[in-house]
């Protein structure tokens, strides 16, 4: 029997997965993935994402406005997010964050949205789920400023930024989530960042349907593949896979307290 493990970040409502969801969840279970968090990236999609979590006991959900969608979506309010957080299977706020790779023109709105999500995390007590791309300096600055203004809990989802942002996040007590990128051949610098991180601050995820780890790279990702990323994580930390899986399970339950099973 495969050790139990959690896919801490996936997008089960995306069309690449939604059309065969029962089969995908069955394959995840066969791979030891007993729990997953599906992420709503636009608040108007919250009812559909919530229904997935209500329909499948292995699935929890989180909601926010993705930074790449901020310019085209209504600005979320703290009340909007806190209202959604009343649902018992909603376990996190986000994903939110900063992405300057393609959408730097909405930089100011992204920063405003990020601060709204941080305040919602404080108000609800639910952890913040952060997306960061090509915005390391602003991200470290805002996370630190806001944490000084009032503490909150956070995971840097699909972490693939630089060592300085990793250090800043870890210094604030945040978590780093490992995606299939760590298994890409050219990701040695990222593997080195994770190797220096405390084991009790590491999660694993797929970000499916994107970023499938080898040997599935370039094809659709799905939650069952999270164990491939976790096996690479065990290698990075010089651990047995079962022990690494157990460590990430404990970390997940410490951060996502509503998802304890």
Is 216 within any annotated ligand binding site?
Answer: no
pLDDT of residue 261: 73
Is 157 within any annotated ligand binding site?
Answer: yes
Buried/exposed code over 139-176 (b: 16+ C-beta within 10 A; e: otherwise): bbebbeebbeeeebbbbbbbbbbbeebbebbbebebbb
Is 101 within any annotated ligand binding site?
Answer: no
Percent pLDDT > 70 in the chain is: 100
Is 87 within any annotated ligand binding site?
Answer: no
Give residue-wise pLDDT tens across range 13-49.
999 999 999 999 999 999 999 999 999 999 999 999 9
Question: How do the domains of the chain map onto residue ranges?
Answer: 5-259
R_g over Cα of the chain: 17
Percent pLDDT > 90 in the chain is: 98
Q: What is the pLDDT confidence band of residue 61, given thresholds at 50, 70 and 90? A: very high
Cis peptide, bond prior to residue 215, ω within 30 of zero? yes
Give residue-wise pLDDT tens across range 189-211.
999 999 999 999 999 999 999 99
Burial of residue 15 (number of CB atoms within 10 Å: 0-12, 13-18, 19+): exposed
Tell me whether strands 33-40 and 154-156 are parallel, antiparallel or unpaired: unpaired
Among candidates 195, 191, 198, 196, which has minimal Cα distance to 175?
Answer: 198
Is 56 within any annotated ligand binding site?
Answer: no
CB 98 within 8 A of CB 133: yes
Give residue-wise pLDDT tens across range 146-182.
999 999 999 999 999 999 999 999 999 999 999 999 9
Is 66 within any annotated ligand binding site?
Answer: no
Give the C-alpha separation, 72 to 9, whole Å.
23
- The dotted CATH code for 5-259 is 3.20.20.140
């Amino acid at each position: 029997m495969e050790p139990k493990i959690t896919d801490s970040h996936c997008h089960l409502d995306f069309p690449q997965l939604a059309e065969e969801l029962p089969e995908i969840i069955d394959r995840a279970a066969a791979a030891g993935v007993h729990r997953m968090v599906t992420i709503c990236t636009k608040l108007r999609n919250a009812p559909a994402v919530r229904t997935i979590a209500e329909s499948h006991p292995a699935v929890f959900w989180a909601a926010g406005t993705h930074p790449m969608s901020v310019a085209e979506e209504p600005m979320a309010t703290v009340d909007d997010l806190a209202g959604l957080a009343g649902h018992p299977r909603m376990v996190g706020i986000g994903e939110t964050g900063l992405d300057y790779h393609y959408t730097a023109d909405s930089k100011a709105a992204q920063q405003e949205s990020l601060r709204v999500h941080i305040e919602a995390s404080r108000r609800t007590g639910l952890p913040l789920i952060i997306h960061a791309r090509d915005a390391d300096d602003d991200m470290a600055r805002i996370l630190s400023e806001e944490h000084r203004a009032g503490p909150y809990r956070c995971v840097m989802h699909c972490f693939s930024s630089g060592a300085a942002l990793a250090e800043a996040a870890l210094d604030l007590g945040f978590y780093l989530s490992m995606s299939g990128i760590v298994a890409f051949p050219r990701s040695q610098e990222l593997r080195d960042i994770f190797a220096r991180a405390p084991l009790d601050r590491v999660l694993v995820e797929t970000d499916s349907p994107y970023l499938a780890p080898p040997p599935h790279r370039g094809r659709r990702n799905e939650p069952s593949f999270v164990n491939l990323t976790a096996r690479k994580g065990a290698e990075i930390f010089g651990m047995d896979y079962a022990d690494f899986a157990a460590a990430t399970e404990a970390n997940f339950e410490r951060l996502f307290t509503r998802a304890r099973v």
